């Protein structure tokens, strides 16, 4: 039988991947007004240097299809996390044998945990969960003909994702965070995401009212530096905005001041992502050691 900490560490392999899927869904897939009816891929026909015609591939409901795919992926990872967490006889290798069989994962967890499914039933979401479970994940990704036809409601699927994430959060708090000793030990077994990117050598274009107030009281800033900050920003609704008429020299000085207190912006045009295993360090940290 695995130790309690080892079981938590095993389940944790699926937690972060599930959360990444949910955060994408939560940001982009809640508002039906953003749903495109179709998208087009255009192929212009050029003859003699003249555009004479266009061939158009029309792609129906591209957002909804991707929404279902990502919802399936989120549900799969969330259930693998929950099963590993709550079933002491099951580890990562066992749940991986389910591959992308969401229906089997739903059946496994339903046999263990009735509370989630009772809640889904009371919310009118149980049929939606079963519907996405019947869709073959690989067939959907490659748009292969599939024997099952499932009707999925966009609004209900959004609500289902929220309910499932709330359940994951509740179980994670109970098993990982409620006990201080467990919380401290599990932090040593967690996979980390290391993200590196260069910094923009520009002052922040906007600063919230709360952040500006903290800047004015910051112990590391000198009075003339606070005066420089106040002179470079103008008050707008909800905060302060960088004045457009300040010189390059003023911008450079302002950047140096803000850099002192960590108010710098990342240059997201170049991002390096590294998955750091438990107990490991990012490659840059190793080189600098």
36-70 pLDDT, tens digit each: 899 999 999 999 999 999 999 999 999 988 999 99
E strand or H helix that includes residue 200: strand 199-200
- Kindly report the pTM of this predicted structure: 0.76
The whole-number average pLDDT for the span 193-204 is: 86
Report the pLDDT value the prediction gives residue 2, as an integer from 0 to 100. 62
Task: For residue 219, give the 3-state DSSP assignment.
Answer: coil
Whether pLDDT at 270 is above 90: no
Which pLDDT does position 104 carry in this prediction?
97
pLDDT at 148: 64
The two beta strands, 233-236 and 206-208, are unpaired
Mean pLDDT of 200-221: 92
State the pLDDT at residue 5. 85
Of the given ranges (39-48, 221-230, 261-270), which has the lowest mean pLDDT? 261-270
If you average pLDDT over residues 74-101, what whole number do you get?
Answer: 95
State both tokens at 225.
């530096």
What percent of the chain shows pLDDT beyond 90?
Answer: 65
Rounded to whole angstroms, the Cα distance separating 127 from 152 reads 9
Q: Which helix or strand (DSSP H or E) is residue 199 part of?
A: strand 199-200
> Each residue of 18-34: pLDDT tens digit?
999 999 999 888 777 77
Say if residue 1's pLDDT is above 60.
Answer: no
Whole-angstrom CA distances from 201 to 148, 194, 196, 248 are 54, 22, 16, 12
Give the mean pLDDT of the chain. 89
Mean pLDDT across 135-140: 89
What pLDDT band is residue 288 in, cutting at 50, 70 and 90? very low
Can you tell me the mean pLDDT for 142-155? 80
- The number of CA neighbours under 13 Å toward the Cβ of 216 is 12
- State what percent of residues in the chain have pLDDT above 70: 94
Per-residue confidence (pLDDT) for residue 207, from 0 to 100: 94
């Amino acid at each position: 039988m695995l130790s309690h900490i080892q079981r938590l560490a095993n389940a944790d392999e699926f937690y972060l991947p599930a959360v990444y899927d949910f955060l994408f869904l939560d940001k982009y897939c809640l508002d039906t007004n953003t749903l495109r009816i179709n998208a087009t891929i255009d192929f212009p026909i050029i003859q003699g240097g003249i555009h004479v015609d266009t061939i158009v591939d029309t792609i129906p409901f591209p957002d909804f299809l991707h929404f279902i795919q990502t919802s399936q992926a989120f549900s799969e990872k969330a259930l693998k996390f929950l099963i590993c967490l709550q079933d002491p006889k099951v580890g990562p290798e066992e749940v991986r044998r389910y591959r992308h069989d969401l229906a089997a994962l739903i059946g496994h967890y339903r046999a263990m945990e009735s509370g989630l499914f009772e809640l889904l039933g009371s919310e009118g979401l149980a049929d939606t969960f079963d519907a996405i479970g019947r869709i073959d994940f690989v067939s959907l990704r490659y748009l292969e003909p599939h024997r099952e036809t499932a009707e999925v409601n966009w609004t209900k699927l959004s609500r289902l994702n929220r309910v499932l994430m709330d359940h994951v959060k509740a179980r994670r708090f109970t098993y990982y965070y409620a006990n201080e000793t467990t919380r401290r030990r599990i932090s040593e077994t967690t996979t980390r995401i290391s993200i590196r990117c260069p910094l923009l050598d520009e002052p922040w274009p906007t600063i919230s009212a709360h952040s500006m107030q903290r800047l004015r009281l910051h112990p590391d800033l000198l009075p003339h530096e606070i005066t420089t900050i106040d002179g470079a920003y103008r008050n707008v609704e909800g905060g302060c905005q960088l004045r457009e008429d300040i010189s390059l020299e003023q911008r450079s000085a302002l950047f140096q001041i803000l850099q002192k207190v960590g108010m710098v912006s990342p240059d997201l045009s170049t991002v390096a992502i590294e998955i750091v295993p438990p107990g490991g360090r990012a490659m840059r940290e190793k080189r600098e050691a």
